[in-house]
Structure 1
Amino acid sequence: MCGIAGLFHLHTPKPVDPARIAVMTDVLIHRGPDGSGVWTAPGVGLGHRRLSIIDIGGGAQPMTSADGQIAVTYNGEIYNFAELRAELEQHGHVFRTHSDTEVIVHGWRQWGVDCLTRFNGMFAFALFDAGRQALFLARDRLGVKPLHMTRLSDDSLAFASELKGLMAHPLFRRKPDIRAAEDFLGLGYVPDDASIMAGVAKLPAGHYLLIERGKPMPQPTQWWDVDFSRRASGSTRALEEELVEHMRAAVTSRMVADVPLGAFLSGGVDSSSVVALMAEASNRAVQTCSIGFDRADHDETHHARLVAERFATDHRERIVAADDFALIDTLVTAFDEPFADASALPTYRVCELARESVTVALSGDGADEAFAGYRRHRFHAAEERVRGLVPKELRRSVFGALGGIWPKADWAPRPLRAKTTFQALATDGAHAYALAVGVTPPAIRERIFSAEAMRALQGHRAEARYEAAMKAAPARDSLDRAQYADLKIWLPGDILTKVDRTSMAVSLEAREPLLDHRLVEFAASLPASMRLRGGTGKWLMKKAMERYLPEQILYRPKMGFVTPISAWFRGALADEAEHIARGSTLAETGWFNMVALEGIVAAHRSGVSDHGRLLWQLLMLDRSLARLFGTAR
């Protein structure tokens, strides 16, 4: 994996100082500690930091064509590069290296923008074509690899893998965007269509941007989308076999590397399935690693060990403290933008453990989004059935009234926690699902924002993008629409950002075979009952994997990485909670009602309310703003 950065002058080919590109690139050294390169030409500069994975001796970047007319800097892997190379050679192309990077150069020459549809992989790249005086920026289908960009005052476009690459340019102006703060508090992350830095954009997943010098700056063009409107036909047995073949192909294609390779193993269905298929394809013991916790209710190492023993993997595990919050500043630096998914802490630790023995690790990420594995999918499907039976006005009056008077009891057994369900049933499915995916509800955000901030937001709502995505989804039913929105918003904004930043922070390449686009397209075509049945998510996947995995792995309750953040703010992080309310960077922004924040902190510390997740969000926002805008303590 790598880090990329560069500049492109949009109208006049002004000289580009190679030292400026080097500075932008060098702040990404964690993404590529094995080498660096800078290439410049009139009006353009490309930079690269390399983590050597394929063709270690010959794949240096930026890479140019033999005639010097094309140059590319690239972050990612093209898994089918060998097949594409053979096809391009039949068209007369001559290769000088054995790297997948060179396939991009020749693929552009042969197919133009259509080369993207032929690439099976994860990637973000910038290609300069001197003949066309054009810059071609592209990002993979699902957004595994990031690409940030901004317009500078000298009429140039700057781009980089991470925000810190843009911030290294002396013309970059730092100004926070309050809309991103609203998005962050609503969702727990800054989504792909937003940035905490005003004027910064992220190239959307499955999009490209083709800029020709002297012409108006175009909007990104979508080159791929997932379609839930088609339905696969066939027996359950036939679909099982097709699914296993897709999974097998996805895993084996991602096992190609010229460096040590292994896998994350949590003991859940997804990572266990990946390890099972790796073991089937490998002629040596698969290297696996797991993180455990010093609290039994958070620990999954027993299940991971069962899978490791079943497939005779070379397994390593490490126990860490459940209150492992010492990483906060490390994560703030790695993510740049505020990021409140607390599972980033154990994800960083498992990446750190993996990097001790391998350079590439396969993960199980993506199956929950593709095959309806989240609890919220089950709840949404059940609520939609009720919505289909009860007229809208009756739902609003009856369930709205119940939602208003029912006590909020997060501490109570699940059957008694009905307030949220009543409120959801009183509204439409898209709005209810957007709230279910979120973290801090709109009412609390309105309570903690200042009057000035509410005016500045001009009605902007974090949930609006989810509602729009669900309503515009190429889909047949409500489950389709929910999954589509997750794949377009939650997956790149939260899951893939988390894995990219934590793995790259320790110079580890993470690969997600369950996000192979052919597998995702197949999953989207499955009837809803094949994804979610009888309260069981990922139904067909689990059934297909029964030949590999025991029932206690396939059908046990989903745990995931859990962190006890509510307890932290009543214990070791109590002082941090007080700082949020009284002396933080948040107060300096003018965005927040500090009296309301004091009330939130007091209610949480006394045990009257549980505001642990909100306090974690506020802490991460405070630390990120301090780092980005120079007000760190």
Structure 2
Amino acid sequence: MCGIAGIFHLETAKPVDPSRVRTMLDRMPHRGPDGSGVWTAPGVGLGHLRLSIIDLAAGAQPMLTEDESLAVVFNGEIYNFADLRAELEEKGHVFRTHSDTEVILHGYRQWGEACVERFNGMFAFALFDARAQSLWMARDRLGVKPLHYALLSDGSLIFGSELKSLLAHPLLRRAPDISAVEDYMAYGYVPDDACLVAGVKKLGAGETLRLVRGRPLPGPQRYWDVSFADRTKSKPAELEEELVALMRQAVRSRMVADVPLGAFLSGGVDSSSVVALMAEASKQAVKTCTIGFDVASLDETAYADRIARRFATDHRTRIVSPDDYSLIDTLAFHFDEPFADASALPTYRVCELAREQVTVALSGDGADEAFAGYRRHRFQMQGERVRALLPAGLRQSVFGTLGRYYPKADWAPRPLRARSTLLELAGEGGEAYAASVGVTPYDLRRRLFTQDVKTALGAYRAEDRYVAAMANAPARDPLDRAQYADIRIWLPGDILTKTDRMSMAVSLEAREPLLDHRLVEFAARLPVSQRIRGNSGKYLMKKAMEPYLPQDILYRPKMGFVTPISDWFRGPLAGEAMAVAGGSTLAKTGWFDTKQLGKLAADHRSGLADHGRLLWQLVMLDKALGRLFGL
């Protein structure tokens, strides 16, 4: 796991100052504490920070072919590199190292851009081809590893693993993109097809971008997408067997490392499944770690302890207080853009605990998206069944009328928010699901924004991204469409961004075996009944893991990390809440109605309403604006 950065001149091969690339690297030293390197040639500069994982002695980057016609900087892991290396050696390629980085160079030489379709891994890399005078950038299929880039006024393109590395370049103009503020307020994160800094782009999951000197900047090309359009005809028993084989292969391929390796263990289905298969493959006790809370209703350590004992892992637990708001500035630094998923706090703590003993940790991320594990997937499926019973006009008349007159109850658990449910049933499925994944409803955002912002946004609405993704999904069923949109938008924008930034903050490599693309493709072909049955999501996965895990682990309600942010804003962070309405960076932007913000904070503090999540969003936006723009 590493950090990369670089500069490529698109028009002419002007010299690149190595110190400028070095400065870009220096902004993110946490991504590579074990070494660094900068290489320049006419018109190009590549930089690399190394967290040594494989071939500790000879895997330094930037890495060049022997004739120096190709050079690459690479962040991530190619898990099938040994098989690819053997295939390339049979074709006459001679290797000088045992690293997966060198496989990228020889793979490109043998197969050209099609090489990326052969790589099974998590990666973001930039490869310079001296003969073609081109720079080719690629990102893994699911978007585990990030890559930002921007075109500058001097005709150069800069790129980096984190936004802060681009901000180190003096020619990058720092101006906010107001549409990204709308996106953030809707979702709680800035999606991959947007950026809060105007002009900065993120290479999308499963995309490549080829730059050729002397030619205009092209658009990215997609080399992979998940399709829900086909259904497997295999029998349930065959599917269980195939799933376990795929999971076993994914876990074992991610256990290859020349440094200490372990796993996160929450005691839930996903992480417990990963640990079970790691224990099966390992000669030594698997190192596992769990974060517990000193509030019984939030604590899952008892479940994790049971799994640790069952598989005789080398287990460590640390109890922390949910009142971990002291990490706010740390989070703001590492995320760069505002990020309001409060589970980032305990994620940081569990990464911190893991790093005390290991350099690589396997996680259970991805199973909920691939196998339909979220409650919203069940609600969406049930809602679509109700919508199918009535014509659209009648639905709007009946449910819309009931919804408008039903008391508003945003404070209640989602199943009890009948008003929201009725209004969602009145609309179309895509609109309803877009609303369900959002954190601040459209009408509330419109009340918070000033007229100038609403005018600047015009007809732009963040939810339309989800509606369009679902409408255009390669899918057969409403559940397919919801999962497809989650994999394309939510997974890289929220889940994988959180895991990457929090693990890299402590120089830990996190690997996600349940996001092996072959596993995701397998899940997308499953009948709906093998994904959701009754009130159980991830149905096939749970059935397949019954020989490994206890019933109460497999079928207990999903918990996830919880933080008491509402209590914070009535206690130690009450001042932060009031500041968003006056005196803060956010208040100075002129984007929000300060009277509305003040009322939000006051109503929350008095207990009249619960706006904790929204206040957390606003505080994190305030922190990001100060760091990015110095407002």
TM-score category, normalised to shorter length: over 0.9
Structure 2: segments with no counterpart, 5+ residues: none
With over 3 angstroms needed to count, the CA separation of the structure-2 counterparts of 1:177 and 1:99, relative to structure 1, is same
> After superposition, where does 1:622-633 map in structure 2 within 5 Å?
622-631=622-631
For residues 249 and 453 of structure 1, the distance between their equivalents in structure 2, rounded to whole angstroms, comes to 50
Q: After TM superposition, list the pairs within 5 Å mapping 1:241-320 onto structure 2.
A: 241-320=241-320
State the match for 2:151 in structure 1: 151
Counterpart-to-counterpart distance in 1, 2:53 and 2:193: 30
User: Would you identify which runs of 4 or more consecutive aligned residues in structure 1 move more than 4 Å?
Assistant: 410-416
Q: State the SS of the aligned residue for 2:545.
A: helix
Asked if the contact 2:411–2:609 (Cα under 8 Å) also holds between the matched residues in 1, the reply is no
Per the alignment, residue 540 of structure 1 pairs with: 540
Give distance in 2, aligned partners of 1:414 and 1:557: 15
| Structure 1 partner of 2:240 | 240
Tell me, in whole angstroms, the C-alpha distance in 1 between the residues paired with 2:151 and 2:210.
Answer: 15
Q: Which residue of 1 aligns with 2:340?
A: 340
Query: What amino acid maps onto 1:161 in structure 2?
Result: S
Aligned residue in 2 for 1:523: 523
User: Counterparts in 2 of 1:69-84, with a 5 A limit?
Assistant: 69-84=69-84
Offset, 1:321: 0.5
3-state SS of 1:11 partner: coil
Displacement of 1:589: 1.1
> What CA distance in whole angstroms lies between the structure 1 residues aligned with 2:54 and 2:314?
23
Contact preservation (8 Å) 2:183, 2:191: yes
Deviations 1:8-61 (A, max 9, x none): 000100000111111111212100000000010000000000000000000000
| 1:196 aligned residue | 196
Residue of structure 2 in register with 1:93 after alignment: 93
Q: Distance in 2 between matches of 1:184 and 1:417?
A: 23
Q: 1-side partners of 2:29 and 2:112: how far apart? A: 31
Q: CA deviation at 1:410?
A: 4.4
Distance 1:413 1:282, change over 3 A: closer
Sequence identity percentage: 71
For 2:438, give the aligned amino acid.
G
Matches within 5 A, 1:450-469: 450-469=450-469
| 2: CA distance, partners of 1:259 / 1:317 | 22
Mapped to 2, the partners of 1:142 and 1:416 lie a distance apart of 34
Residue in 2 aligned with 1:327?
A: 327
Aligned-residue offset at 1:566: 1.1
1:441-498 Cα deviation digits (max 9, x unpaired): 0011000100001111122111111000000000000000000000000000000000
* Cα distance in structure 2, aligned partners of 1:411 and 1:191: 26
Q: Secondary structure at the match of 1:582?
A: coil
User: Deviation string for 1:339-373 (max 9, x for gaps)?
Assistant: 00000000000000000000000000000000000
Partner amino acid, structure 2, of 1:279: A
Q: Name the structure 2 match of 1:22.
A: 22
Give the equivalent residue in structure 2 for 1:140: 140
2:615 aligned partner: 615
CA distance in 2, matches of 1:382, 1:610: 28
Question: Bigger CA drift: 562-571 or 50-59?
Answer: 562-571
Q: Which residue of 2 aligns with 1:433?
A: 433
d(CA) in 2 for partners of 1:458 and 1:510?
A: 40
Q: Which amino acid aligns with 1:127?
A: L
Which one-letter code corresponds to 2:309 in the other structure? Answer: E
Pairwise CA distance, 1:411 = 4.8
- The structural deviation recorded for 1:409 is 2.6
Q: Distance in 1 between matches of 2:142 and 2:434?
A: 20
How far off its partner does 1:413 sit?
7.0
Count of aligned residue pairs for this structure pair: 631
- Distance in 2, Cα, partners of 1:184 & 1:484: 20
Tell me the distance in 2 between the aligned counterparts of 1:586 and 1:394: 43
Distance 2:21 2:411 in 1: 53
Shift of 1:416: 4.3
Query: What residue identity is the alignment partner of 1:420?
Result: S
Counterpart for residue 213 of structure 1: 213
Quote the Cα distance in structure 2 between the aligned partners of 1:580 and 1:587. Answer: 6
- CA distance in structure 2 between the partners assigned to 1:134 and 1:370 by the alignment: 36
Secondary structure in structure 2 of the residue aligned to 1:58: coil
Pair 1:49-2:49 in alignment: yes
C-alpha distance 414-206 of structure 1, shift in aligned 2 (>3 A) = closer
2:512 is aligned to: 512
What residue identity is the alignment partner of 1:271?
S
SS in 1 for 2:6: strand
Q: How far apart, CA to CA, are the structure 1 residues paired with 2:86 and 2:353?
A: 37
Residue 563 of structure 1: aligned partner: 563
| CA distance in structure 2 between the aligned counterparts of 1:554 and 1:607, rounded to whole angstroms | 37
Cα deviation code 1:103-148 (max 9, x no counterpart): 0000000001100110000000000000000100000000000000
Structure 1 alignment gaps of length 5 or more: none
- Equivalent position of 1:476 in the other structure: 476
Preserved contact between residue 88 and residue 106 of structure 2 (Cα < 8 Å): yes
Deviation at 1:417, TM superposition (A): 2.6
| C-alpha distance in 2 between matches for 1:16 and 1:247 | 45
Q: Partners of 2:244 and 2:232 in 1: how far apart?
A: 15
The one-letter code of the counterpart of 2:327 is L
- How far, CA to CA, are the matches of 1:240 and 1:410 in structure 2? 40
Q: CA deviation at 1:415?
A: 6.0
Q: What is the identity, as a one-letter code, of the residue corresponding to 1:339?
A: F
